[in-house]
Structure 1
Amino acid sequence: MIVTVTLNAALDVTYRIDQVDWNGVNRVQSPHRRAGGKGVNVARVLAALGHDVLVLGLAGGPTGQALAIDLTASALPHALTAVDADSRTTLTVTGLSGTTLFNEPGPLVTPEELGRFLDGFDEALTGAAAVVLSGSLPRGVPADFYATLAARAADRGIPALVDADGEALRHAPTGRPSIVKPNLEELARASPAGATGPERQAELMREAGAAAVVVSMGHDGLVAVTAEGTWRARMPYRVAGNPTGAGDALVAGLAMGVVEGTPWPERLRLAAALGAAAVATPVAGEIDHGTFQDVHRRINVS
């Protein structure tokens, strides 16, 4: 079982509109609403590929109830910790002119609520093959909380993968995660002044405690800096579509590689292909299998 943690879970709303008139009325062609947040998206991809998952997170208010209902309807096992404040909604507007994302900040979480979450997290580690910690932190959650969770998993011999930004990413290596997965911009923001280049910045994260760092670079592919060496996965072409959720599908591929013990070259090929296949779908948490098969066989890893 792979446990995914989404502390700032959301009700994801996606509007598909060919052309947006920001000063007028827009007719939404195909609205879509479902439980989201980065860890939920990771769980959706893993479940679609046949892996047992458990979704953990915080959920509160009417929006939190909608999240739980949708997870149940999607056959995604979950153990959400209740909070008093209402969970957030995100809005993605996608069309011919590109994709725009609106993210609410999320609920204010109390120390007592975090304590209940930690109790549930420790219980969920029993039987877990890996843990994925991803997404933003809601208000009230300490910046080093992912490091805390990763360390609890590491103490029990369970690999943790962290996909975060800002201070959460900066603290993450101290929890000894198996993989930290920033994109280029996130890596640069979390790196010390004067550290230039993704390979050097990734190596500094390894020195701080992360076993491996995988840097996603969009259509330019991936760079993985590990104890076994550095690899680069190059994409054969740019996939058009909605990039929201591409990083989550990529993380799902990395988690599969960790659990299955896949060598790094094939692990990166799988992760990069899943990321591309997610771009080809209209909503996060899904992959286009035709795109996956075509891209996967063409990716070059060196």
Structure 2
Amino acid sequence: MIVTVTPNPALDVSYQVDRLRPGHTHRIGTVHERAGGKGFNVSRVLTDLGRDTIAIGPVGGVLGDSVRADLDDAGIRHALLPVSAPTRMTITVVATSAPEGEEATLFTEPGGPVADDDWRRLHDLVQSHLETAKVLVCSGSLPPGAPVDCYADLVRLGHAHAIPVLVDAGGPALRQACAAGADVVKPNAAELAEAVGGDDPVAGAELLRAEGAGAVVVSLGVDGMIAVTGDGRWRAEPPYAVAGNPTGAGDAAVAALATGLAEAQPWPQRLRAAVAWSSAAVAAPVAGSVDQTVLADVRDQVRLTNLDLTEPARPT
């Protein structure tokens, strides 16, 4: 079982319009509402693809009730912690007539502050589900006032139960998770650059590994992903750019990486799957889904490069 933790869930609302014009009234073509937050998206992808998972996170208020109802409707196993802070909303506006296909504009609320006692309750809730877990995934932003070592604490909790931990975060929470020894971290290029103060993703990933991370996977958008691990360094690229909504593509990649971690797959296989699942998520209309047709077309065509063979050797 793959346990996912979403400290800052949301009700994700997606609007589809013909064209986004600031300052104008828009007629909405279709509306999608679903439980969101990066960890919930990971569990949704895993559920859709037949993997065993449970989604954990704090929810509150009317939108929290909507999140719970949507997870139930989708058949996603969950353990939600009732809190007083209201669950936030995110809005994605997808313009279907954009010059390069579908273009997504995101509006994200920060989330309500969660009380210190609720963080302790969340910690205990996660711990209660680690007996049968194979992997712990900690994913997404932290709400205002959250302890900066929240993910580091969960890394230590997972390791106390001999469970590998994958963290998808940015900022100080990312650095602290690395220092705690997270088995895999997956920042995107912008998060990595902000964390380490440089634009070279391989050098930045090496720095995070030196700080304690077991492996670092950097998502580069349409250019694929880079993995810097104790077993080697690779770059994987999709065979072509997939048009659609990129929201949730990184979450699909995390789902693939968590699956690879649970099944002890070799790193090249994990990275190929992460790029394929990510590409298939772009083709899906909303975050947390993958387009099975695109997945079948892309997965055997992902290009893999061994960076240790194509770049100068690292200094000893």
Shorter-chain TM band: over 0.9
**Hey, what does 2:107 align to over in structure 1?**
102
Corresponding residue number in structure 2 for 1:142:
147
Aligned AA (2:254): V
| 2:126 counterpart residue number | 121
CA distance in structure 2 between the aligned counterparts of 1:42 and 1:219, rounded to whole angstroms? 20
Which whole-Å CA distance do the structure 1 matches of 2:2 and 2:229 have between them? Answer: 22
* Matching residue of 1:158: 163
- 1:64 matched to 2:64? The reply is yes
Work out the CA distance in 2 between the residues paired with 1:220 and 1:163.
19
Q: Tell me the SS of whatever aligns to 2:290.
A: coil
Distance in 2 separating the partners of 1:227 and 1:85: 41
Contact 1:149 1:175 in 2 (8 A): no
Secondary structure in structure 1 of the residue aligned to 2:233? strand
* Partners of 1:138 and 1:126 in 2: CA distance: 27
Q: Is contact 1:223-1:233 (8 Å) kept?
A: yes
Residues of 1 paired with 2:172 and 2:234: CA distance? 26
User: What residue in structure 2 maps to residue 84 of structure 1?
Assistant: 84
C-alpha contact 2:131 2:161 (8 A) present in aligned 1: no
- What is the match of residue 16 of structure 1? 16
Aligned residues: CA RMSD = 1.0
Instruction: Say yes or no: does 1:51 pair with 2:56.
Output: no
Point out the more displaced range, 196-205 or 36-45. Answer: 196-205
Distance 2:248 2:299 in 1: 18
Which residue does the alignment assign to 2:260? Answer: 257
| AA aligned opposite 2:73 | A
Q: Secondary structure, in 3 states, of the residue corresponding to 2:284?
A: coil
Look up the equivalent residue of 1:259 and give its one-letter code: A
Q: Which residue of 2 aligns with 1:242?
A: 245
CA offset at residue 107 of structure 1? Answer: 1.3
Aligned to 2:308: none
- Choose the corresponding residue for 1:130, options 129, 135, 142: 135
Identity of aligned residues (%): 49
Can you list the C-alpha shifts for 1:123-173, whole angstroms capped at 9, x where unaligned?
A: 111111001111000122111111110111012110111111112112210
- Correspondence 1:275 to 2:275: no
Distance 2:17 2:37 in 1: 22
Q: 2:177 pairs with 164, 169, 172, which one?
A: 172
Check conservation: 2:182, 2:214, Cα contact below 8 A.
yes
Whole-Å separation in 2 of the counterparts to 1:82 and 1:167: 27
Alpha-carbon shift at residue 99 of structure 1 (Å): 0.8
- Give, in whole Å, the separation in 2 of the partners of 1:298 and 1:245: 21
Cα deviation digits, residues 20-62 of structure 1 (max 9, x gap): 2322221111011111110011001111111111110010111
| d(CA) in 2 for partners of 1:219, 1:266 | 19
Q: Distance in 2 between matches of 1:199 and 1:45?
A: 28
Runs (4+) off by over 3 Å: none
Match of 1:295 in 2: 298
> What runs of 5+ residues in structure 1 fail to find an aligned partner?
none
Q: Which runs of 5+ in 2 are unaligned?
A: 306-316
Alpha-carbon distance between aligned partners in 2 of 1:141 and 1:252, rounded to the nearest angstrom: 24
Aligned to 1:233: 236
In the alignment, does 2:175 pair up with 1:185?
no
Residue 208 (str. 1) matches residue 230 (str. 2): no
CA–CA separation in structure 2 for the residues paired with 1:135 and 1:122: 19
User: Equivalent residue of 1:24, what SS?
Assistant: coil
Q: Deviations over 1:154-196 (max 9, x none)?
A: 12110111111112112210221111001111101011x4x55
Equivalent residues of 1:223, 1:231 under 8 A apart: yes
Given the two structures, how large is their TM-score scaled by the length of structure 2?
Answer: 0.93
Tell me, yes or no, if the aligned pair for 2:138 and 2:151 is still in contact at 8 Å. Answer: yes
